[in-house]
Amino acid sequence: MKRKIYFNIATLSALVAILVTGFLLLTFYNFHVKNEIRALKDYGKIMSDILDPLDDITADSLRGNTDPNIRLTIIDLDGNVLFDNMANPQTMENHLDREEVKDALKFGEGEAVRNSATLDKNTYYYAVLLSNNSILRISRQGATIFSHFKNVLPFIFLIVFLILLLSLFTSSILTKKILEPVENVVKNMEEIIDNRALNEFIVYDEIMPFIKKVENQKNQIKYNIKTLEEKAALMDVITSSMKEGFILIDENKKILSTNDSGIKLLQGDDNLSYYGDDFIKLSRSIKLHEALDKSIDTNSSEELILNLGEKYLTIYINPVLSNNILIGLVILVVDFTQKYKLDLMRREFSANVSHELKTPLTSINGYAEIIESGMAKNEDIKKFASTIRKEGVRLLNLIDSIIKLSRIEEEEYEKDFYIIDIYDIGENTMDNLKLIAGKKNISLNLYGKSTFINGNKDMIAELIYNLLDNGIKYTPYGGNVNLEIKSEDGWAIIKVSDTGIGIPASQQSRIFERFYTVDKSRSRKKQSIGIGLSIVKHIVEYHHGKIKLVSEINKGTEIIIKIKHYA
């Protein structure tokens, strides 16, 4: 403010000084021009008195009556030059278009001033209509305004410069005097507002309403800040403890606020705040941005399901309006991965279990119906009963596997977690399967050492049993099934490999699905219901582990499981 006032006063003073100087110079110059024209008029009247009585104006009649510094020209009514004391009239152009000549013909006399840029001089003209119907024009050259003042310009510039310096000095003093009361208010606002020191400071009366207004606004601002801080703290506590993602963006999709869950669920960087960044920096999902743009364009709420890797998110987008004008969006991100997977599994379960139960029940019902009707021969009844028993066992195994899978999904094993040695479990499981493997002359091999995890013993035993049993089922006579247990980079590794028939690459992504089998006819021969590897996958996920499948047709299959190692 001080600089602005100082600048304005100094500029005004300098401008006034320059304008006054220019005005004086122009006034003086105009006075000079008027004097020149007046002198020509006086001389013109004298010459017109001499020439009016003459019928024929000749050089002899003018000799001795002309001033050698003044050019005298006689022009007829058609603009032709009849006489000129400084040039040959026959070589001179027509003068009818000259300003002073036209005025003389119209008003009886005329005057003009013309500048010559090449000679840097002004020429002053005066013309008068004579009684003999000819025009007498008198002219004389004079200096231009710059020629007049070039000798005194340095002194003029010096005076202007001194005036400017004086203006700057005066401006500084005036600025200080003007702002002193305002500065007193700024420095001592609290004392003045409290009416404790009004007499000690110079204060403009006009400022007092402003001071009172500032006092009221200050109190209101303090109250508003306190209220906002309380609300912000409460909002921060609420959003930071939410599992759901909570994100605020403005109408240009700039991030105003986001909690940690919002960053994690949208797979952002936990170390960045994202405040003020464009939303695209947090998420590059085209589907999500299209929903945001639609909500912004239509001021409508949007809901979408977004798949990010292994996560399934439900995203609710609601516009924030002020006076029916969109000022931002509230985005709520809900992780429903578990619910989505459970719903998917339930749908698959309904379809697959119906199919798996229907086949043995159809067989049992068919044979029972034949026996009941008496159509079966005595020698066939034993064979039919054996088939019914096998299908019944198959049903019991299916139901038992379903129960196991349900228990895992419902997390009934959580209370049984403790430190276990998976090498010891693998060794016991292999002993239980040696008889089955021996029937196919399959060699069971165990490698590794004691490796500990925090888990459920029964579940891990089920996991290893299913992997080994699966390997034995699909390994030809005389093959190998190997189990390796070790620790590596903080992980406990369970690796089961066989020299079996392998799995086609096109079907490897579905091998862990419930009731999925590569070859249905071959699976029935092996008495496989396609749920063993699904149980394995659920046990691994329950222990927050990882599972990997490597397989090649006619060369074998290798399944690698990683669970956090307990050191």
Per-residue model confidence (pLDDT) at position 424:
94
pLDDT band at 278 (very low <50, low <70, confident <90, very high): very high
Average of pLDDT values for 421-425?
A: 94
Question: What distance in Å separates the CA atoms of residue 23 and residue 19, rounded to the nearest whole number?
Answer: 6
Per-residue model confidence (pLDDT) at position 27:
80
**In the predicted model, is pLDDT for residue 192 greater than 60?**
no
- Give percent of the chain with pLDDT exceeding 70: 79
Per-residue model confidence (pLDDT) at position 518:
55
Q: Which of 62-66, 109-113, 209-213 has the highest mean pLDDT?
A: 109-113
For the ranges 32-36, 399-403, 541-545, the lowest mean pLDDT is seen at 399-403
Question: What distance in Å separates the CA atoms of residue 282 and residue 301, rounded to the nearest whole number?
Answer: 21
**In the predicted model, is pLDDT for residue 445 greater than 90?**
yes
**In the predicted model, is pLDDT for residue 498 greater than 90?**
yes
Per-residue model confidence (pLDDT) at position 163:
75
For the ranges 119-128, 139-148, 169-178, the lowest mean pLDDT is seen at 139-148
Average of pLDDT values for 323-349?
A: 82
Question: What distance in Å separates the CA atoms of residue 90 and residue 400, rounded to the nearest whole number?
Answer: 137
Question: What distance in Å separates the CA atoms of residue 493 and residue 561, rounded to the nearest whole number?
Answer: 6
- Give percent of the chain with pLDDT exceeding 90: 21
**In the predicted model, is pLDDT for residue 66 greater than 50?**
yes
Per-residue model confidence (pLDDT) at position 524:
45
Per-residue model confidence (pLDDT) at position 482:
95
Per-residue model confidence (pLDDT) at position 204:
56
Per-residue model confidence (pLDDT) at position 322:
87
Q: Which of 216-225, 393-402, 523-532 has the highest mean pLDDT?
A: 216-225
Per-residue model confidence (pLDDT) at position 389:
81
For the ranges 119-123, 350-354, 561-565, the lowest mean pLDDT is seen at 350-354
**In the predicted model, is pLDDT for residue 57 greater than 70?**
no
Question: What distance in Å separates the CA atoms of residue 424 and residue 420, rounded to the nearest whole number?
Answer: 9
Average of pLDDT values for 144-172?
A: 71
**In the predicted model, is pLDDT for residue 341 greater than 90?**
no
**In the predicted model, is pLDDT for residue 493 greater than 90?**
yes
Is residue 280 a contact partner of residue 255, using CB atoms and an 8 Å limit? Answer: no
Per-residue model confidence (pLDDT) at position 45:
83
Residue-wise pLDDT for 356-372, tens only, equals 667 677 778 887 888 87
Is residue 542 a contact partner of residue 459, using CB atoms and an 8 Å limit? Answer: yes
Q: What is the DSSP code (8-state) at residue 199?
A: G
Question: What distance in Å separates the CA atoms of residue 184 and residue 193, rounded to the nearest whole number?
Answer: 12
Per-residue model confidence (pLDDT) at position 158:
79
Specify the pairing of strand 255-258 against strand 418-421.
Answer: unpaired
Average of pLDDT values for 147-173?
A: 73
**In the predicted model, is pLDDT for residue 306 greater than 50?**
yes
Q: Let me know the angle formed at the C-alpha of 145 by 140 and 146, rounded to the nearest 5 degrees.
A: 120
The better pLDDT of the pair 251, 523 is held by 251
Q: Let me know the angle formed at the C-alpha of 398 by 392 and 404, rounded to the nearest 5 degrees.
A: 135
Per-residue model confidence (pLDDT) at position 522:
45
Mean predicted lDDT score pLDDT of the chain: 79
For the ranges 167-176, 312-321, 494-503, the lowest mean pLDDT is seen at 167-176
pTM to 2 decimal places:
0.38
Per-residue model confidence (pLDDT) at position 118:
54
Q: 3-state SS string over 67-95?
A: CCCCEEEEEECCCCEEEECCCCHHHCCCC
Is residue 561 a contact partner of residue 463, using CB atoms and an 8 Å limit? Answer: yes
Report which of 309, 234, 235, 303 is spatially closest to residue 265, judged by C-alpha positions: 309
For the ranges 282-291, 372-381, 434-443, the lowest mean pLDDT is seen at 372-381
- Count the Cβ atoms, other than its own, within 10 Å of residue 315: 23
pLDDT band at 481 (very low <50, low <70, confident <90, very high): very high
Residue-wise pLDDT for 237-262, tens only, equals 777 778 888 899 999 999 988 888 88
Residue-wise pLDDT for 74-115, tens only, equals 888 888 988 888 888 888 889 888 898 899 889 989 988 887
